[in-house]
Amino acid sequence: MNLRLHIWRQAGPDAQGMLRTYDVRDVSEHMSFLEMLDVLNEELLAKGEEPIAFDHDCREGICGTCGLVINGRPHGPLPRVTTCQLHMRSFKDGDEIYIEPWRATAFPVLRDLVVDRSAFDRVISKGGYISVNTGNAQDGNAIPIPKKDADRAFDAAACIGCGACVAACPNSSAMLFVAAKAGHLGLLPQGQAERSERALSMILTADEAGFGACTNHYECEAACPKGIPAEFIAMLNKDFFSAALASRD
Amino acid sequence: MDLRSNIPGGPIDQKWENHKADLKLVNPANKRKFSVIVVGTGLAGASAAATLAELGYNVHAVTYHDSPRRAHSIAAQGGINAAKNYQNDGDSVWRLFYDTVKGGDFRAREANVHRLAEVSVNIIDQCVAQGVPFAREYGGYLANRSFGGAQVSRTFYARGQTGQQLLIGAYQAMMRQVGLGKVKLHHKKEMMDLIVVNGRARGVVMRDLVDGKISHMTADAVLLCTGGYGNVFYLSTNAMNCNVTAAFRAWKRGAAFGNPCYTQIHPTCIPVSGDYQSKLTLMSESLRNDGRIWVPKKQGDTRSPEQIPEDDRDYYLERKYPSFGNLSPRDIASRAAKEVCDEGRGVGPGGLGVYLDFAEAIGRLGEKTVSDRYGNLFDMYQQITGENPYKTPMRIYPAVHYTMGGLWVDYNLMSNVPGLFVLGEANFSDHGANRLGASALMQGLADGYFVIPYTLGGYFGQGGIERISDDAPEVRQAVEATKEKVNRLLSINGKRTPTSFHRELGKIMWDYCGMARNEKGLRTALERIPALREEFWQNLTVPGTGEQLNQTLELASRVADFLEFGELMCLDALHRNESAGGHFRTEYQTEDGEAQRNDDDYCYVGAWEYTGEIAKSALHKEPLTFENVKLATRSYK
């Protein structure tokens, strides 16, 4: 198939970006979306032009490195599929495709389609863990955890930290990301001791990083490639409000 | 070259305990005076960085990713072994030790493997305490499964995402230390060289992948936790950015490279679909429990699989290995697939594929049961290939998956360069010539959580680490060497892209140093790799500058090292005149076509020293002795 691509090009963090148009020919439906961009990049290199920078690594949908806004949708048209797992059979001959980076104040563009998501790491560094030093642990089976709870915690822990939730949100809120971590740890007995402090600290850090507030659009849930439900945000809000009230001295 | 393994004395099950008692300690007030650079933030790196920071050391964690959580440990699916014996099915530290030594085809160090089995139980406890959501039974206790043909159920798992959950656990422990100021995180920084001063590893040279700035950092010790080198084959199940540069640069600075030819080929991956293919995706081995593997009997049979009658099909694993059949071990199943494809009986584009057929299982069990067992894998297959495996057989083909070889380390995980420690897949030590399923995660975390915190203290406790100037000639030389390499890559102005060289190198490696190797092929590779390297340095194109985010430059720099490293792998494969585990030399096989080890002449670690020219690399031998597990031949007939 032949396609017309409109791709965001931006030379650096402070440079002015713009959409540029590229025609690609003879695209196989078996190619992944990123392989289609690989082929385009090889053509650009052959012409002596600088290729399009985009982030990617595992290409198996688990590392969370890739992330393109494709025709206005983070990770493209298919639900629960990362950009790297999207294949060209989801498109048809003659399609025009708009390809842009995640857009959020807290995720500045570094070049073309590559953004800086280190704000997510800062959020985790302020509470997104259980404080246990190596060597402190008791036997693994000393803490029975009902299967239902373990499965629910896993649903939240499945977050790959890609940032699609932020890119999809009109407020650029990171609440689904924060809630997934708070939910994962807050549903487990090991996570109870720091539950309130964790909610408070991660939300305040996200605010400082420039992520917006949640106003219940549910775009995050729709965009999440791992299908993490927005009800974890409700759980986080509950933890946050009780922690905020308790901490008012 | 000093290759003393420093294995402690005493009976095998007391070596580690005795050694811990003998190791020097560093008192808490002094720990904060020591700094450590940890390169790589996968399971080994993140667990080491977190644990060392908890102890009070000042840690610098370096990753080329935008976040440490992206490391490729995250992609491991199956599970992690531990000798907990929660199932009361006869497992023990001894049995895990025995299975690992035997599975490694008697080319690993007994003492290291025993320690690995011992600390395996602590890993599970630690991960549970961190909140890793392992699979549970209804009573709330941890679930186990049997994996990779083990006779006991000792594998802990978290759905099909065990690597992800373990890595997130280690990442969170490390990020806690970042928040506390004990770990300084350097993200989007790629290690370009090792700094060695007065014979000790004292720092690294890094390139900032955003602005291209080349800088250096010095410390009292350097830990390389930089993973394997499977991407030398271009196509592998490794992530796109995995590379050999950190380990290879350390080799050029004097560290020995152990057994580079030991690579693992996984039999069940989705085949290549076209020239544009960028990587290969693993399909869990568990599919072979119910799927039947076959190819057409006739060469060039282009009928669709449904149209090929039973009589025209060759279920070759069932035919050749009647007792293990479709469950034959990884190396054997992989080689058999290659053989039938080499005979022109492969299926799918390019004839590089075999069928994995579930029709019989669906008939026997019903579609619902098959879906319950393998539904997520079938969905993933359909997402990638567009074919429905309930209706038409899957196509699979072997792919490079893991590298058992790596930098040589002693019992303390220290290389022969004092102060340079190597952890996880990057070292050579625990898997011998073949790694068993669910053992990679175990080793990464064992090294980081439970070995290095003791042995690093032992190194520091010995003293003798002098203060060095940030402006020492060795530091300046290493920085200059990196700048020179980058400038050289940018100034060739040729025609060919780094990817095209990488792809060509990968083809040479796959054809001549892949699943089956022989002297003639390896000699061909040893002629073609240097020729390709020469063309690389004359005809490479890298547009843009070194002072920007330049992914072409990043790749070119890594491919340059692969082009040298591939030659070293072939040298090692050529010298090892035997077949062992993942290293199969066609000249050395039994009448039945099975691997034939030569314990009289090759029961050693082949450790290579850089002498200024790859072709003249010097081989050193660390003899392996087996005092606890008797040398025996593996058989799966």
The residues pairing with A5 across neighbouring beta strands, listed in sequence order, are A22, A97
Domain, as residue range, for B308: 267-399
pLDDT in tens, A132-163: 999 999 999 999 999 999 999 999 999 999 99
Whether pLDDT at B376 is above 90: no
Whether B319 is in a domain gets the answer yes
Which pLDDT band holds residue B350 (cuts at 50, 70, 90)? confident
Domains of chain B: total? 2
Which pLDDT band holds residue A248 (cuts at 50, 70, 90)? low
Residues 184-203 of A with CB under 8 A from B: 184-185, 188, 190-191
Whether B306 is in a domain gets the answer yes
pLDDT in tens, B106-119: 999 999 999 999 99
How many CB atoms are closer than 10 A to CB B415? 31
Whether pLDDT at B80 is above 60: yes
pLDDT in tens, B201-237: 999 999 999 999 999 999 999 999 999 999 999 999 9
Is B54 within 8 Å of chain A by CB? yes
Nearest-neighbour CA in chain A from B522: distance (Å): 30
Whether B615 is in a domain gets the answer no
d(CA B541, CA A120): 35
Q: Decide which of A57, A76, A111 is a domain's last residue.
A: A111
Is A77 within 8 Å of chain B by CB? no
Residues A126 and A227 in one domain: yes
Residues 38-57 of A with CB under 8 A from B: 38-39, 42, 45-46, 48-51, 53, 55-57
Residues A131 and A227 in one domain: yes
Whether B226 is in a domain gets the answer no
d(CA B279, CA B458): 41
Nearest to B203 by CA among B224, B181, B190, B220: B220
Residues A93 and A152 in one domain: no
Q: How many residues does chain A have?
A: 249
Residues A135 and A223 in one domain: yes
pLDDT at residue B592, as a whole number: 79
Residues A187 and A218 in one domain: yes
Amino acid (one-letter) located at B397: Y
Is A9 within 8 Å of chain B by CB? no
Nearest to B156 by CA among B196, B125, B185, B130: B125
Nearest-10 crossing angle of helices B245-252, B551-575: 60
Residues A105 and A192 in one domain: no
pLDDT at residue B499, as a whole number: 98
| Of residues B140, B178, B239, nearest to A57 (C-beta) | B239
Residues A70 and A155 in one domain: no
Whether pLDDT at A249 is above 60: no
Whether B331 is in a domain gets the answer yes
Q: Decide which of A96, A111, A126 is a domain's last residue.
A: A111
Q: Decide which of B383, B399, B415 is a domain's last residue.
A: B399
| Of residues A35, A134, A141, nearest to B276 (C-beta) | A35
Task: Show the tokens assigned to A176.
Answer: 């689904």
Residue range A5-22: mean pLDDT, rounded: 97
Residues 59-98 of B with CB under 8 A from A: 65-72, 74-75, 84, 86
- Whether the CB-CB separation of B152 and B99 falls below 8 Å is answered with no
Active site residue B330: yes
Residues B393 and B482 in one domain: no
Give me the percent of chain A exceeding a pLDDT of 70: 99
SS3 for B207-241, per residue? EECCCCCEEEEECCEEEECCCCCHHHHCCCCCCCC
Task: Show the tokens assigned to B391.
Answer: 């209706």
Whether pLDDT at B149 is above 80: no
Q: Decide which of B350, B372, B399 is a domain's last residue.
A: B399
Domain at A150, CATH number: 1.10.1060.10
How many CB atoms are closer than 10 A to CB A18? 10
CB contact under 8 A, A129 and B176: yes
Domains of chain A: total? 2
CB contact under 8 A, B276 and A81: no
d(CA B626, CA B446): 22
Nearest to B46 by CA among B54, B58, B38: B38
pLDDT in tens, B558-586: 999 999 999 999 999 999 999 999 999 99
Task: Show the tokens assigned to B562.
Answer: 């692969």
Chains A–B, number of C-beta pairs less than 8 Å apart? 214
Least confident residue range of B59-68, B155-164, B521-530, B604-613: B155-164
Residues A162 and A141 in one domain: yes
Which pLDDT band holds residue B637 (cuts at 50, 70, 90)? low
CA atoms within 13 A on the CB side of A207: 8
Domain, as residue range, for A167: 118-246
- Whether the CB-CB separation of B41 and B61 falls below 8 Å is answered with yes
Task: Show the tokens assigned to B618.
Answer: 């010097």
Is B518 within 8 Å of chain A by CB? no
The helix or strand, by DSSP H or E, that contains position B295, with its residue range, turns out to be strand B292-296
Residues 153-172 of A with CB under 8 A from B: 153-154, 157-158, 160-161
Task: Show the tokens assigned to B93.
Answer: 């530290």
pLDDT at residue B502, as a whole number: 98
> Would you state the torsion angle of the CA atoms of residues B39, B45, B50, B53, taken in this order, to the nearest 10 degrees?
-40
- Whether the CB-CB separation of B472 and B478 falls below 8 Å is answered with no
Q: Decide which of A56, A91, A111 is a domain's last residue.
A: A111
d(CA B424, CA A186): 31
CB contact under 8 A, B67 and A118: yes
pLDDT at residue A198, as a whole number: 97
Predicted ipTM of the assembly: 0.98
> Which residue of the set B70, B115, B330, B528 is catalytic?
B330
Whether pLDDT at A247 is above 80: no
Residue range B511-534: mean pLDDT, rounded: 97
SS3 content of chain B, % helix, strand, coil (to 5): 40, 15, 40
Residues A179 and A204 in one domain: yes
pLDDT at residue B374, as a whole number: 85
Whether pLDDT at B24 is above 60: yes
Whether B405 is in a domain gets the answer no
Whether pLDDT at A34 is above 60: yes
CA distances from A178 to A183, B241, B262, B279, B448 (A): 8, 28, 42, 32, 27
| Of residues B137, B384, B500, nearest to A147 (C-beta) | B137
Task: Show the tokens assigned to B281.
Answer: 């995706």
Nearest to B446 by CA among B15, B118, B211: B118
CA pseudo-torsion sign B331, B332, B333, B339 = positive
Q: Decide which of B382, B399, B416 is a domain's last residue.
A: B399
Give me the percent of chain B exceeding a pLDDT of 70: 99
Task: Show the tokens assigned to B38.
Answer: 């940890």
pLDDT at residue B636, as a whole number: 65
The residues pairing with B294 across neighbouring beta strands, listed in sequence order, are B355
Residues A158 and A234 in one domain: yes
Domain at A66, CATH number: 3.10.20.30
Is B381 within 8 Å of chain A by CB? no
